[in-house]
Structure 1
Amino acid sequence: MAPASRIANLRQAGNEQFRNGQYSQAAKLYSRALELLEAAGETNAEEKSVLYSNRAACYLKDGNCSLCIKDCSEALDLVPFGIKPLLRRAAAYEALERYHLAYVDYKTVLQVDTAVQAAHDGVNRMTKALLEKDGLQWRQKLPPIPAVPVSAQRRWEPLPLGSQEATSRSKEKNTAVTNKVPTAATTEKANALKLEGNEFVKKGNYKKAIEKYTESLKLHKLEATTYTNRALCYLNIKQYKEAVQDCSEALNIDPKNVKAHYRRAQAYKELKDYKSSKADITSLLKLEPKNSAAQKLLQELNKLLK
């Protein structure tokens, strides 16, 4: 049997063992496939990356987080910005309480595809964990979040080459991603501007803070926190429609953003749109049932709606 066929058979057998919960056996089969690839001198980066990622999933299931991280890193060296190895490595980092690194991987996934719910959930968990661990300055301790290039955007959903839809989508996607995905340098500058805005908020200078957040968002449009921070400023200067808009932008990026739900609810309340306000608070309480501020606002809204 040709090496390629044997490798494919080993991979399929590994998948079967994994589905049956036989993770150690599956890992051995993936390892054998990798050995055959090496022995045959194969340079198929995609195939190797998948095998490393699959074996990483086995290690994760068996609780061997260090080996999971190692294999995911190998997979990502071969094919950068793969969603599965990023999510698996993030889960392993999280299990080892290396929350900063887990946060970076979850955020990287969202640059590749903002619709990955597991990444949104992971970001929310890591944000809470880092807040408890490092306090309000937790973001300053984060490693850099890599900027995902256009070529890595949803590449697993190809359309027929040459089709009108494929050409159209490619043009739209290139334009959108160029506008959304910053380089490492612009990310750093955007973060610095956001921190300057935070300092102005502490001083109560909300208009100056808005200026800084606006400059930051021009560089990095995928940062939900900057939108919620600017929304807080708009609330304080009674520009409620602008606050609603910023919270909506934040929720487009992170649908489970608690601050965005709460601040939009506050803005809707001031605009006397009590039903929309209650809808946001209800969504928030599903995420955090014991949120006392949300419970209090819900009581006020129930009275207003009567």
Structure 2
Amino acid sequence: MAPKRRRSASEWKQAGNESFKHGQYGQAAGYYTEAINILAKSGLKNPEELSILYSNRAACYLKNGTCTECIKDCSVSLDLSPFGIKPLLRRAAAYEALERYQLAYVDYKTVLQVDCNLQAAHDGVNRMTKALIEKDGTEWRKKLPPIPSVPLSQQTRWELMSDNNLIDTHSKRNISSGEQNGVLPSFKVLTESEIQRAKALKEEGNEWVKKKNYRKAIDKYSESLKFNNRESAAYTNRALCYLSLNQHQEAVKDCTEALKLDAGNVKAFYRRAQALKELKDYTSSLADIKQLLEVEPNNTAGQKLFQEVKKLMK
């Protein structure tokens, strides 16, 4: 009788994927463990595949509420393959469940450096911001651990896709429908020269603002955004110029774009509130001021604008 063939790591991984899809998270975790052990014993250097397996097992632990184990596996996954979106999101969710809000905030913010359009990360940042304000008051930012700086090479170019897989089944990092609603946007990876050119143009725009030449400044900010449209400051700076020129609709658009990139951007909330006030949309203006004051309760300019808009609504 021929000896029974042993399963390969990839077969154990596939078995784990199938179990996970059917909600059998404990069994799936066991299968991923088998795959991890085989790869570890083989001596083959395949950090990306191991990273995926640890991330997948972390997903099982998260589903079962074993948050500490989830955090451990996500950390190993990230050591093997830094700045992976899935392990960062999973670790953030585990930290959040354990009320370790500072660490969750750092992970959510790190995700946004990799892909600034992930709604799950924006929502996480907003939740953590509110939780940290309640916990630590207005000084909450000073108590945060350092947020890692994601190198350009790790910023992911996402292809348009509608894959709803939760588990990483291959080298592409798919995000589930639960983690990101709808289709992932596509944008190119920026080169270092593009980033530097955008920065230089933004600085030129700032110089024109100091001279109160807002039209020239708008031109420079617009040029800057052609090179790098992920710079929220370029949008809020151009919005200031539009406000100064009474182009309030344009200011609203720019602030909205800035908030897509940075959900807690105080300048974007304030300037959009100003523009909406001038457009006589007082309800929306007040909503933005309230958001601003949730982030910075002692913001005197926001408090003053709040009172102005409240008077106008009477």
How far apart are 1:265 and its partner, in Å? 0.8
Query: What is the CA distance between 1:227 and its match in structure 2?
Result: 0.8
How many Å separate the matches in 2 of 1:30 and 1:68?
A: 14
Q: 1:275 to 1:119 in 2, by over 3 A?
A: closer
Instruction: State the shift of 1:237 in Å.
Output: 3.3
- 2:112 is aligned, of 102, 106, 112, to 106
Gaps of 5+ in 1: 20-25, 134-140, 159-172
1:291 deviation in Å?
3.3
Cα drift, residue 240 of structure 1: 2.1
Mark the CA change 1:256 to 1:98 in structure 2 (over 3 Å): closer, same or farther. Answer: closer
Query: RMSD of the alignment, in Å?
Result: 4.9
Q: Amino acid of the residue matched to residue 244 of structure 1?
A: V
Which protein has greater RCO, CA pairs closer than 8 Å, 6+ apart? 2
The alignment partner of 2:186 has SS state of helix
Aligned match of 2:241 in 233, 237, 244?
233
Question: How far does residue 230 in structure 1 lie from its aligned partner after superposition?
Answer: 1.0
In structure 1, distance between residues paired with 2:163 and 2:212: 47
Tell me the amino acid that sits aligned with residue 196 of structure 2.
E
Match of 1:163 in 2: none
Inter-partner Cα distance in structure 1 for 2:303 and 2:40? 59
Secondary structure, aligned partner of 1:177? coil
Q: Is the 8 A contact 1:65 1:96 kept in 2?
A: no
Counterpart of 2:54 in structure 1 is: 52
Matched, 1:201 2:209: yes
Are the aligned partners of 2:270 and 2:302 in contact in 1 as well (CA < 8 Å)? yes
CA distance in 1, matches of 2:299, 2:264: 14
Q: Retained in 1: the 8 A contact 2:198–2:223?
A: yes
Shift of 1:36: 0.9
Query: 1:261: Cα distance to partner?
Result: 1.7
Aligned equivalent of 1:3: 7
State the TM-score, normalized to the length of structure 2.
Answer: 0.61
Aligned residues: 270
Tell whether the 8 Å contact from 1:190 to 1:217 is kept in structure 2 after alignment: yes
Which structure features the higher share of helix residues? 1
TM-score (norm 1): 0.63
* C-alpha spacing 1:210/1:270, structure 2 compared with 1 (3 Å): same
Cα deviation digits, residues 124-182 of structure 1 (max 9, x gap): 79xx999869xxxxxxx96644442244x557438xxxxxxxxxxxxxx89x735x653
Distance 2:215 2:203 in 1: 15
Q: Which amino acid aligns with 1:83?
A: I
Q: Is residue 260 of structure 1 aligned with residue 268 of structure 2? A: yes
CA contact (8 A) 1:55 1:71 kept: no
Q: Does residue 198 of structure 2 align to residue 190 of structure 1? A: yes
Residue in 2 that maps onto 1:274 = 282
**2:86 aligned residue:** 84
Unaligned runs of 5+ in 2: 96-100, 131-137, 166-182
- Counterparts in 2 of 1:86 and 1:266: CA distance versus 1, 3 Å: same
